A and B are shown apart, each in its own frame.
Chain A
Amino acid sequence: MSAVQEALPAVRGSRDATVRRFALTDSIFHGMTRAAAILVLVLLGGVAISLVAGSWQALSTFGFSFLTSESWNPVTEKFGALAPIYGTIITSAIAILIAVPLGIGIAIFLTELCPRPLRRPIGMAVELLAGIPSIIYGIWGLFVLAPFLQTTVQPFIINVFHGVPGLNGLFAGPPYGIGLLTSAMILAIMILPFITSITKDVFDTVPSVLKESAYGIGCTTWEVTRRVVIPYTRIGIMGGVMLALGRALGETMAVTFVIGNAHRISTSLFAPATTISATIANEFTEAVGDLYTSSLVALGLILFVITFLILAIARYMLMRIDARTGA
């Protein structure tokens, strides 16, 4: 009987204990992470339930007409969400129209054309745009951008399109400086970094072989971008755009400053309007009466639903591009 043989059972015993300990820590770890994940679902469900509960009075009073009525009258307590919904969607849509070409342009420049030393500073500058708090955008919009638009750009555009049917309605005065278009411009600047950085990331997923082959058969940079890179990453770009759209829909503070807070639907892009989040921010503190408060919560519910859908679509698209690259 050697000493080694004598020691074996003891070793085996301590080994079993260690394995058991590992198994235990692992299952605790597993349980904790799962609890954290479930917590998110519970929170989301809680938010949804409390929004529905809070808006129940308004929804049951006004029914479907809440979505189709433009009236927002605290005196007679008749509330309809059409004007804020319209303002929310139009400002976000125009912001996307402005920001998408700009953002994709910057991304192409950074990935394909930019000389190396410039790449970092420009990239950093765009990323920094995302770091500016929205209240700063709001104040800047109110005190710098709006007066500038009011005194120079808007009167000029109003005069140019004055006699043009169709367009004169789109650019009708008086030039307040604040309104739909000003908000859309601020939003465009705010969502630019999202579009740029996501587009840049998906451009990097294009296999170099594809690009090099295209260059090899004599394609220009424009052709490579147009025929290879963009088709390959189309879904990813769309995902980025959707993510930016979700951001634009919910933006509150910056928009409240420059939208003009008027519950009206007007054809003119210079006209004051309101968005869902701006309305809630403006009126929640002093909404007197249950129905008024409930209508504001109902607005919140509508925004919740819209944003949820948009973000779900965005995630799905980005997932598909990830699946394709095997990442």
Chain B
Amino acid sequence: MRHFIRSAAVAIAMATASTFTLSAAIAADLSGAGSTFIYPVFAKWADTYKKDTGVGLNYQSIGSGGGIKQVIAKTVTFGATDKPMSDADLEKNGLVQFPMVMGGIVPIVNLTGVKPGELVLDGKTIAQIYLGAITTWDDAAIKALNPSLKLPSTAIAVVHRSDGSGTTFNFTNYLVKLSPDWKDKVGSDTAVEWPTGVGAKGSEGVANTVKQTDGGIGYVEYAYAKQNNLSYSKMLNAAGKVVEPSLESFGAAASNADFKTAKNFNVIITNEPGDTTWPIAASTWVLIHKAPDDAAATGEALKFFAWAYKDGKETAKALDYVSIPDSVVDLIKASWKADIQAGGKPVYAGE
């Protein structure tokens, strides 16, 4: 028994020693959580950044709601959300927010015999589908938008997010603008009361469920649709033109975003005007504490973001994300210097 206790004590001592060395190794890593919308590009950036600098990023894509919660609780250095925080909430929690990247949300469908980009949908019809008013794929409203397609009579299997999600916020924000019905019955937020359909966790979950379900429809950030070879649909935009999801159409939507005059960079870019504009575009914002407990970690995070704005452009483009224009990046960096301080000095020293 005594022998056992001694060996247990040794084991515990060794375990604690190893955690100490481990935590020393982890301390160099950045920690963040939130948006699944931005996850594909964050993952790619982090990969390159680690090779360049040796600093890794531990980012958990748990949904925007979770990111906001965790950054407020200070369990992570930064949060990422596709629903901008209100001025009052930022003030209350001592946070700053700035846009990291922009991109497009695309409807994905799983229809036998319909190839990616063949189907055309508009906001009204999607709202009716998500309200449960349109239940089969050969409904007159869908046929009217797709006169040349052979649509099956398959039942529509609606897929939405089960977790709090900024993608949901932008998607429902768009539906509210297009459908009075949706505005009255459901509204827009990171989590809403869905009238119909099945909930899946994360963008990965939505992509997977649609992939598995004949007649399925969902909505994800474009990178997920491409990576999973999912049938995305084209959209009818505010100008009444049919547009493909692409870097150009997302860029056209993003070019409408006037970050310069918006307080706290709070700009929503759904249903923007323009012939080539993709109607469901979105930005992801990073949330970070103004007076961080761990100034070093925050400084490292800001360094990574500065690197991403400058050297991450190609990566973002390859994944069809729209980078934040340089003029806006200058504004963001100025706000870092002004707002994020430790001991009376700005945490981010600049290039």
Residue A272 CB within 8 A of the other chain: yes
Residue B309 CB within 8 A of the other chain: no
Residue A176 CB within 8 A of the other chain: yes
Q: Find out whether the CB atom of B66 lies under 8 angstroms from the CB atom of A260.
A: no
Chain A minimum-CB-distance residue to B156: A174
Query: Smallest CB–CB gap between B283 and chain A, Å?
Result: 19
Residue A25 CB within 8 A of the other chain: no
Q: In the complex, what distance in Å separates the CA atom of A260 from the CA atom of B205?
A: 11
Pick from B65, B155, B162, B189: contact of A174, CB under 8 Å: B155
Query: Smallest CB–CB gap between B138 and chain A, Å?
Result: 14
Q: Find out whether the CB atom of A286 lies under 8 angstroms from the CB atom of B197.
A: no
Residue B107 CB within 8 A of the other chain: no
Q: Find out whether the CB atom of B199 lies under 8 angstroms from the CB atom of A287.
A: no
Residue B13 CB within 8 A of the other chain: no
Q: In the complex, what distance in Å separates the CA atom of A272 from the CA atom of B205?
A: 15
**Contact residues in B for A179 (Cβ distance below 8 Å):** 198
Q: Find out whether the CB atom of B187 lies under 8 angstroms from the CB atom of A286.
A: no
Pick from B64, B68, B163, B213: contact of A150, CB under 8 Å: B213
Residue B84 CB within 8 A of the other chain: no
Q: In the complex, what distance in Å separates the CA atom of A285 from the CA atom of B63?
A: 9
B197-227 vs A, Cβ < 8 Å mask (1 yes, 0 no): 1111100000001001111000000000000
Residue B191 CB within 8 A of the other chain: yes
Give the contacts of B60-92 with A (CB-CB under 8 A): 62-66, 68-70
Q: Find out whether the CB atom of B187 lies under 8 angstroms from the CB atom of A76.
A: yes
Q: Find out whether the CB atom of B199 lies under 8 angstroms from the CB atom of A286.
A: no
Sort chain B's interface into a size bin: 35 or more
B150-174 vs A, Cβ < 8 Å mask (1 yes, 0 no): 0000111100001110000000000
Residue B186 CB within 8 A of the other chain: yes
A251-285 vs B, Cβ < 8 Å mask (1 yes, 0 no): 00000100011111000000010100000001101
Q: Find out whether the CB atom of A286 lies under 8 angstroms from the CB atom of B66.
A: yes
Residue B284 CB within 8 A of the other chain: no
Q: Find out whether the CB atom of A75 lies under 8 angstroms from the CB atom of B188.
A: yes
Pick from A74, A177, A260: contact of B191, CB under 8 Å: A74
Residue B190 CB within 8 A of the other chain: yes
Pick from A173, A261, A264, A286: contact of B164, CB under 8 Å: A286
Q: Find out whether the CB atom of B155 lies under 8 angstroms from the CB atom of A173.
A: yes
Residue A123 CB within 8 A of the other chain: no
**Contact residues in B for A317 (Cβ distance below 8 Å):** none
Residue B49 CB within 8 A of the other chain: no
**Contact residues in A for B197 (Cβ distance below 8 Å):** 262, 272
Query: Smallest CB–CB gap between A216 and chain B, Å?
Result: 54
Question: Can you name 13 A-B residue pairings with CB atoms under 8 Å?
Answer: A73-B193, A75-B188, A146-B212, A174-B155, A174-B213, A176-B213, A177-B212, A262-B198, A272-B197, A286-B62, A286-B163, A287-B164, A288-B68
Q: List the 9 closest pairs (A to B, CB-CB), nearest first.
A: A286-B65, A261-B199, A286-B164, A261-B162, A174-B155, A73-B193, A272-B198, A286-B66, A260-B198
Binding site for A on B (CB under 8 A): 62-66, 68-70, 154-157, 162-164, 186-194, 196-201, 209, 212-215
Q: List 14 additional A-B contacts (Cβ < 8 Å) besides A72-B193, A285-B69.
A: A73-B193, A74-B190, A74-B192, A75-B189, A174-B157, A175-B213, A177-B213, A263-B194, A272-B197, A282-B201, A286-B62, A286-B64, A286-B65, A286-B68
